Structure 1
Amino acid sequence: MTTANVNSFLPVGIPLPWPQDRPPTGWFECNGASFDVNQFPKLASVFPWGRLPDLRGEFIRGWDNARGVDPGRQILSWQGDAIRNIHGEISPISETFSSEPIANGAFRYFEKDAGHTPMHIDISSAGGVFFDASQVVPTANENRPRNIAFMYIVKAE
């Protein structure tokens, strides 16, 4: 495959990652823009509604097609973010239970002066628990795998 014969190998409508900030001639950025279905009939055969998918900041996921990993999805359907459940255990945290506290998973145990409450039952320290997902998983303001940014482009003609 060469630059001269690339059109013979890549079908119109195929999205590809592009390492520059502008698409080459004959390609559009996958940015949700509308296009003229009369001017680009081959592209309209792939996207008959006349709008490109918006792949800016998105990851492409392989269609499940009845495999059962991501059931119920349709081709080109958008899916919101989610993470796996994060859990942990908290068990007796009062000295009156006469046992050591357990805090695991995303929970951590700490001790703090009880201040003689309630009614002088807890006279030394009382426990507390805080939840911090960063104790068990990397955190950010979004859920994401490791990645590198490319512009997705689509062959238009």
Structure 2
Amino acid sequence: MGNAFADGMVLVLSFWDDYAVNMLWLDSDYPTTGTAPGDKRGTCATSSGVPKTVEAQSPNAQVIYSNIRVGPLGSTTGSQPGGTPSGTPSGTPTGTTTGSAPGATQSVYGQCGGIGYSGPTACASGLTCEASSQYYSQCLP
């Protein structure tokens, strides 16, 4: 894996149903009767992941990919990886307004808070700033 990192990597994001093998290759036993090392890939039952069932249970499923950054490590955030976060983590993320214009608001799906974030912390009208972790909050309808 180390050599692969030196050659560069590609981030791939997807959202789909697997009609061929019900996503078992990702988080279950695959092949389902396999006993070789690597066949057990997760704790999901081999009967799980059937697209018809998944779609019936979550007919309005959606995904939003946002705030994705590209560049050498540390070049998109102003800090290098591997450090220890400063401050004491809390259950509720907080943002700061340093660096953003007074009265500035964030648009839909934009970042509005989190440890180390310095942009607008207020959302545009009709949006709510929702925390997904101590490091990231996002304006949602």
TM-score by length of 1: 0.24
TM-score by length of 2: 0.25
Could you say which structure has the larger radius of gyration? 1
Higher relative contact order (CA 8 A, sep 6+): 1
